[in-house]
């Protein structure tokens, strides 16, 4: 895995509302039902208030493998440093914290 964020094709030119809608769809269609639920709840609660840099980080996180994401969010393994703050927010949201 590279330390450079992965940018979705056309994300730089994408209107913010379209980008948020696309990220919400990607968050809820993961492949692992648990991650669908966790990430879609986080996306619904937080994406609308994120700036472009935070959306870039979430977009990059969604490029990661579901098995890895699940282990990071559930605390089974530590996420890479670049994702640690975001994963902590997602885990807090999943456990009912804000």
Asked if residue 51 has pLDDT above 50, the reply is: yes
CA proximity to 40, closest of 22, 50, 26: 26
Percent of the chain with pLDDT over 70: 86
Asked if residue 12 has pLDDT above 90, the reply is: no
Q: What is the pLDDT of residue 1?
A: 45
Distance between CA 44 and CA 23 in Å, rounded? 10
The structure's pTM equals 0.82
Percent of the chain with pLDDT over 90: 74
């Amino acid at each position: 895995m590279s330390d450079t964020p992965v940018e979705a094709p056309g994300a730089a030119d994408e209107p913010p509302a379209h980008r948020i809608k696309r990220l919400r769809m990607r968050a809820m269609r993961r492949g692992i039902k648990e991650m669908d639920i966790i990430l879609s709840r986080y996306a619904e609660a937080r994406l609308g208030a994120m700036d472009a840099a935070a959306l870039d980080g979430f977009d990059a996180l969604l490029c990661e493998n579901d098995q890895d994401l699940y282990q990071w969010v559930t605390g089974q393994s530590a996420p890479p440093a670049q994702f640690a703050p975001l994963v902590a927010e997602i885990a807090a949201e999943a456990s009912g914290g804000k």
